[in-house]
Chain A
């Protein structure tokens, strides 16, 4: 397959994914409700949050929502659909499609989450630019790791339990960096301080993508 065919295939897969989602409809709506409900409960209990607990709460909610959303990426698939995918597409391409859709939905959820938390609990972020950069990098990182974990959990006896058990420890290195960067957004630091951390996160993302491309074909085999 040359590059043009690969891109075309990826486009078709993305469209397929989108249509499947559009027809079923409950998945994105469900995750929006999950996030909004969680934040609302936190708001009822805390009223308003200090800036440090705001960040902690935000990423905790995002972690849970991400695990919830991305657990659907392979577990929800029926075995006949899996069979069809296995015949029709190279595995890595399918995984990349899942990463892209996961990233886009996470970006949407992150934006919604920060709006909801901003409205209900105040908005302590001083540098929105740095915060947006953090969200921009965190989306694909979470999506990469969690799609892999979801592919691993598929076929286990209790996949839904396995997702957080495997996902949380694996995500901690990423989350530490994310937390550091959002702390900088909170204080509105200079961009020259921010860039090394942003590059570290980008490097981590590239490493995870390479690792996923290497490992996914083995998970894909039946």
Chain B
């Protein structure tokens, strides 16, 4: 018997998300940042652009785990979790791409410079958009859930070399690649780190919360009997 409901996020985590988010936004706009040539104030984007990628990876990992759980137990709740997490992952990916493009325009001088990481993330998004296409092309509900779960796992394993291994083989404009200094070089006194790590946690929790709501919405919408 598959579980009939998805538990909401614990209240403590919700409070933590809101507090951390408040801290990140306050420090992001008002906090002190190192003054650097070219980067200038755009360095604040570190708190918004980079956590998008972390959040995306965590949510897509979560989607792959829930997909695997679906294959093992065939619980409809796991399928909706995977769907919601994938959609939030795509959303974060798009936001990460947009914030990155704005940052690139004002530091590298172009909206799109075919940087390996830019290309890789665009392809990764394409992969997961294909997931939504795949989902919509099945009539049978159980078959749809099973096939899309397999695709989701496969896509996640294709994403790993795409995002982490292949960009390292070619020169990139991103910090820490192709002879560029890593980001820690810009953050001598560790001030930014104190905001960056909470930002990663806050954005990930936020995405998780949103996916939780989405998956519960999907569950309700697909319920035939109350």
Q: Is the CB of A173 within 8 A of B166?
A: yes
- Interface residues in B155-178 by Cβ distance below 8 A to A read 155, 157-158, 161-162, 165-166, 169
- Convert A185-222 into 0s and 1s, putting 1 for each residue whose CB lies closer than 8 angstroms to a CB of B: 00000000000010010001001100100010011010
**Whole-angstrom CA separation of A218 from B153 in the bound complex:** 12
- Contact A176/B137 with A207-B157, A218-B146 known, Cβ cut-off 8 Å: no
A156 in the interface (beta carbon within 8 A): yes
**Whole-angstrom CA separation of A169 from B140 in the bound complex:** 25
- Contact A157/B153 with A166-B130, A172-B162, A177-B166 known, Cβ cut-off 8 Å: no
Q: Is the CB of A162 within 8 A of B134?
A: yes
- Contact A172/B143 with A156-B134, A162-B134, A207-B157 known, Cβ cut-off 8 Å: no
Q: Is the CB of B151 within 8 A of A152?
A: yes
- Interface residues in A117-173 by Cβ distance below 8 A to B read 148, 152, 155-158, 162, 165-166, 168-170, 172-173
Contacting residue for B137 out of A156, A200, A207, CB 8 A: A156
A-B contact pairs, 6 of them (CB 8 A): A148-B150, A156-B138, A157-B137, A172-B162, A177-B166, A219-B146
Majority secondary structure of chain A interface residues (helix, strand, loop or mixed): helix
Contacting residue for A157 out of B123, B138, B169, CB 8 A: B138
**Whole-angstrom CA separation of A162 from B148 in the bound complex:** 12
B149 in the interface (beta carbon within 8 A): yes
A180 in the interface (beta carbon within 8 A): yes
Chain B residues lying within 8 Å of A218, measured Cβ to Cβ, are 71, 146, 149-150
Q: Is the CB of B133 within 8 A of A165?
A: yes
Shortest beta-carbon distance from A189 to chain B in Å: 14
Chain A residues lying within 8 Å of B123, measured Cβ to Cβ, are 169, 172-173
Q: Which 3 A-B pairs have the closest CB atoms?
A: A169-B127, A169-B126, A156-B137
Q: Interface residue tally of chain B, by bracket?
A: 20 to 34
**Whole-angstrom CA separation of A208 from B127 in the bound complex:** 16
Chain B residues lying within 8 Å of A168, measured Cβ to Cβ, are 126
Contacting residue for A170 out of B139, B154, B166, CB 8 A: B154
**Whole-angstrom CA separation of A169 from B129 in the bound complex:** 10
- Contact A215/B137 with A169-B127, A173-B158, A204-B161 known, Cβ cut-off 8 Å: no
Q: Is the CB of A155 within 8 A of B143?
A: yes
B147 in the interface (beta carbon within 8 A): yes
Shortest beta-carbon distance from A137 to chain B in Å: 15
Chain A residues lying within 8 Å of B153, measured Cβ to Cβ, are 211, 215
- Convert A25-56 into 0s and 1s, putting 1 for each residue whose CB lies closer than 8 angstroms to a CB of B: 00000000000000000000000000000000
**Whole-angstrom CA separation of A166 from B138 in the bound complex:** 14
Chain A residues lying within 8 Å of B127, measured Cβ to Cβ, are 169-170
Q: Is the CB of B158 within 8 A of A170?
A: yes
Chain A residues lying within 8 Å of B140, measured Cβ to Cβ, are 155
Q: Is the CB of B169 within 8 A of A152?
A: no
Chain A residues lying within 8 Å of B154, measured Cβ to Cβ, are 148, 170, 211, 215
